[in-house]
Amino acid sequence: MVRNLGWHPVASWTWDAQDETCGICRMAFDGCCPDCKFPGDDCPLIWGACNHAFHLHCILKWVNSQTPQPHCPMCRREWQFKG
């Protein structure tokens, strides 16, 4: 399998407005994730130790799908919730 194909850090691949949007669902941070349809639903943001932010609901889905060690979708460092 071809690996590390001149690997670009994921961050350089991302969309124009990456600072205001969740890197997982692409919805704006001032809105909610696709699972929370209604504005006003409790859809908090959460930061990783690497300082990348996501909707809590989005990063939980990703972390739960990754075994044994989840990585940050943006920078691939080990994902740890910022304490």
- Binding residues (CB under 5 A) for Zn ion: these are 22, 24-25, 32-33, 35-36, 43, 50, 52, 55, 57-58, 72, 74-75
How far apart CA 22 and CA 25 sit, in angstroms, is 6
How far apart CA 30 and CA 33 sit, in angstroms, is 10
Least separation in angstroms between residue 76's CB and another protein is 7
Report the half-sphere exposure of 19 (CA within 13 A, side-chain side): 0
Place of tokens 């460092």: 77
Least separation in angstroms between residue 22's CB and another protein is 10
Binding residue for another protein, selected from 36, 46, 50, 71, defined by CB under 8 A: 71
What DSSP character marks residue 19? Answer: T
- Kindly state whether residue 26 participates in binding another protein, applying the rule CB under 8 A: yes
What, of another protein, Zn ion, none, does residue 4 touch, CB below 5 to 8 Å by kind? another protein
